[in-house]
Amino acid sequence: MKMFDQTHCGVQRLMTDTTFTAKRITRMGTWNIRTLHQSSRLNQLLKEFEQHRFDLLGISEVRWTGSGEMTSDGKKILYYCNDKKHIRGVGLVLGKQAIRALVGWKPVCDRIITARFASAHVRTTVIQVYAPTEETNDIEKEEFYDVLQAVIDEIPRHDLKIVIGDMNAQFSSDRQGFKDIIGPFTSSKRLSDNGERLLSYCTLVPKKKKAKKKQDQAQEVEDKETASRAYADLDRAVKQTCRRDKKDWLEKKCKEAQMAADRNDTRTLYRIIKDLSGAWRSSSVPIKDKNVQGKVSSTVLLRRLQAAVDKRLREEQAGFRKG
């Protein structure tokens, strides 16, 4: 297995063999393959890779077990999956040019994998990720972004960093104030909780990057301590922003639910309740935070909404109501 700090024998080749150069178009993409743990799915993946003439393709939900690399039909597949269960898993599919330019790769976890390539002027590091789904508990979501930030911080400063993958986030068409972060081709009608987390992360990353640079360049002990405190404050700000955005999202959904209940719009009301209950359905992690006001208030709101729905439903729609 080639790790991140090991050198590929082809690094010393001529620069014309490198993948990322202005002299040729480099085709890169990412695909949630759903699973490769089925017959013919790998052949389908390689066929699509060849048809779209990719040089590099990041894949999510590989669902193999363990980690390693394999070669098939002239393509190299780097992957990292759960050791025992066929869940999650990320990987990278490399074409001939990418194989020649590969310097090394690092399997971080079953949600993150990185690969480093030689290019014309600088090295290029590609980070393929598979973020937790909307129903995942908050602790696991925060851990994912903490690991992602740690991976980015470990990459050499002068590398070109490219993050690709399935972030499991949804953005609405409202880009007001975030046009430099959100593209013009959003397809969702609402901003999901994961979308708010990703938006907060992208907003504060440039500030954290500057603070990290000051921390690394500080020479005096006092300057290092000051820079470290500034970086830690920004790191806490990212997590606080995520929690605040989630609270605002819950309040917004509750207002929409109340408006739907007032106009007897049971379809909209059902959809909102489903969204709210789905965010907490699979959370089985015990509460560790002393401030549980947000968790308790959401449960109370859900119960109130359920009572409001029962009162407004017609009798012929109440077949599944208790009593």
Domain ranges of the chain: 15-168, 249-283+291-317
CB 139 within 8 A of CB 162: no
DSSP labels for 179-204?
TTTS-S----SS--HHHHHHHHHHHH
Residue 301 binned pLDDT confidence (cut-offs 50, 70, 90): confident
Residue 13 binned pLDDT confidence (cut-offs 50, 70, 90): very low
Residue 190 has pLDDT above 90, yes or no: no
- Amino acid (1-letter code) at residue 183: G
Handedness of CA 196, 79, 63, 110 (dihedral sign): negative
φ and ψ at 263, to 5 degrees?
-105, 15
Residue 57 binned pLDDT confidence (cut-offs 50, 70, 90): very high
Q: Which CATH number fits domain 15-168: 3.60.10.10, 3.40.50.720, 3.40.50.620, 1.10.1660.10?
A: 3.60.10.10
Could you give the CA distance from residue 14 to residue 239 in angstroms, rounded to a whole number? 45
Could you give the CA distance from residue 49 to residue 59 in angstroms, rounded to a whole number? 11
Could you give the CA distance from residue 239 to residue 236 in angstroms, rounded to a whole number? 5
Q: Once rounded to an integer, what is the mean pLDDT over residues 31-36?
A: 95
What's the CA dihedral at 171, 197, 166, 286 to 10 degrees?
A: -130
Question: For position 278, what pLDDT does the model report?
Answer: 54
- Amino acid (1-letter code) at residue 310: D
Question: For position 131, what pLDDT does the model report?
Answer: 96
Three-state DSSP state, 166 = strand
Question: pLDDT digits over 86-135, tens only?
Answer: 999 999 999 999 999 999 999 999 999 999 999 888 899 999 999 999 98
| Alpha-carbon distances of 69 from 37, 42, 90, rounded to whole Å | 16, 14, 12
CB 305 within 8 A of CB 275: no
Q: What does R_g of the chain's alpha carbons equal in angstroms?
A: 23
The strand ranges marked E within 146-290 are 160-166
Q: What is the pTM of this model?
A: 0.65
- Amino acid (1-letter code) at residue 173: S
Q: Which two tokens stand for residue 22?
A: 């202005």
H-helix or E-strand spanning residue 116: strand 112-118
| Alpha-carbon distances of 1 from 5, 6, 106, 169, 241, rounded to whole Å | 11, 10, 9, 32, 39
